[in-house]
Structure 1
Amino acid sequence: MKVKVIGIPVLDQERALQFYTNKLGFIKKHDVPLGGGNRWLTVVSKDEPDGVEVLLEPSPNHFEPAKTYQNALFEAGIPYTQINVDNLQEEYDRLINLDVEFKMTPTEMGNVKIAILNDTCGNYIQLIEMLQ
């Protein structure tokens, strides 16, 4: 078994696509209309185009438990998922220059350095650099 797709609920798929591609640097992999204005919309790392796909999944406003879960994580400041980077300080500086909002600036915690950003679509995302 191996992971091929991981979903992140987003409040606006087009806005998420712009953020994840223009700011975070991912590339669009799939964009398939599903009806009702929803899409099977995935992005991948430009460094691993055949790697794990991130599904920018329409946040299910019609399904209250999922909406409640996403809102609760955001309100508590808990990241929805994590993205690894090679050099967190460089990535942080690059993203700050693109006006990305951070909840936590780069902080060392044991053998990792983390930062937390707002993806503008209802989620905090943790960036992590392994130090050892």
Structure 2
Amino acid sequence: MRIHLSSVFVDDQEKALRFYTDMLGFVTKHDVPMGTDRWLTVVSPEDPDGTQLLLEPSGHPAVRPYKEALVADGIPATAFAVDNVRAEFDRLRGLGVRFTQEPVEMGPVTTAVLDDTCGNLIQISQYG
């Protein structure tokens, strides 16, 4: 068994697509119209056949209070692995990405948390 698909709820799929591709560097895997929304997934360019991230519309009534509670408590919706958190932090901050947590070393793990502009906090992590 392996993880094939994960998702984040986004307030605006087009805005999310621009952020996740232009800022974070993911590439579009699927973009299929589904009424007023889309089946919209991105993947790492380093693993185009790997785990997909679904940029899922946040229209369900339970999503808004869920996302607001996570953000209020500083809890990331998901985490992405990077080779060097400090370098990625500097690169993304240079592009205007807002961080809610600067790089922090916690034993063998270094993390930072960013705002994806679509209602989520995202953690970037480096192990080792």
Identity of counterpart residues, as a percentage?
51
Moved over 6 A (4+): none
Q: Select which of 114, 118, 123 maps to 1:121.
A: 118
Q: TM-score, normalised by structure 2?
A: 0.97
What is the CA–CA distance in structure 2 between the aligned matches of 1:2 and 1:114, rounded to whole Å? 24
What is residue 91 of structure 2 aligned with on the other side? 94
What is residue 38 of structure 2 aligned with on the other side? 39
Q: What runs of 5+ residues in structure 1 fail to find an aligned partner?
A: none
Q: TM-score, normalised by structure 1?
A: 0.94
What is residue 51 of structure 1 aligned with on the other side? 50
Give the CA deviation at 1:110: 1.4
Could you say what secondary structure the match of 1:21 adopts?
helix
Q: What runs of 5+ residues in structure 2 fail to find an aligned partner?
A: none
Equivalent residues in 2 for 1:1-132, closer than 5 Å: 1-35=1-35, 37-60=36-59, 63-131=60-128
Could you say what secondary structure the match of 2:62 adopts?
helix
1:2-58 CA-partner distances (Å, limit 9, x unpaired): 1111010000000000000000000000000000x2000000001010100000000
What is the CA–CA distance in structure 2 between the aligned matches of 1:117 and 1:107, rounded to whole Å? 13
